[in-house]
């Protein structure tokens, strides 16, 4: 089975940190997700950056719909691979 990566897009760093912490509790994720700052194209202001939480799912056990609902609690969304 090929490795699956989920990319969760959040509006700010605090939300991304909260999501990363809550993933272990809600989904039993063992590996620490990566947080990545994603500046919006053409924007120089740091306030206009989105934050990504990148999560590996080697076993393919995380349900996309559940992740969508979960990240929506922080006004975020899951990018389709």
According to the model, what pLDDT value does residue 41 have?
A: 58
According to the model, what pLDDT value does residue 45 have?
A: 56
According to the model, what pLDDT value does residue 79 have?
A: 93
Tokens for 21? 């912490």
Over residues 15-41, the pLDDT tens digits come to 999 999 999 899 988 888 999 998 765
Instruction: Quickly count: other Cβ atoms within 10 Å of residue 44's Cβ.
Output: 7
Over residues 49-75, the pLDDT tens digits come to 899 999 998 888 899 999 999 999 999
Q: Parse the chain into domains and list their residue ranges.
A: 4-79
Task: Look at residues 65, 80, 75, 62 and name the one whose alpha carbon lies nearest to residue 23.
Answer: 62
- Report, at the CATH architecture level, how domain 4-79 is classified: 2-Layer Sandwich (3.30)
């Amino acid at each position: 089975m090929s490795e699956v990566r989920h990319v969760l897009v959040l509006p700010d760093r605090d939300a991304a940190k909260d999501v990363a912490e809550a993933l272990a509790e809600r989904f039993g994720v063992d590996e620490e997700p990566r947080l990545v700052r994603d500046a919006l194209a053409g924007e120089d202001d740091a306030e206009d950056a989105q934050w990504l939480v990148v999560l590996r799912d080697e076993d393919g056990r995380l349900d996309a719909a559940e992740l969508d609902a979960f990240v929506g609690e922080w006004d975020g969304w899951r990018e389709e691979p």
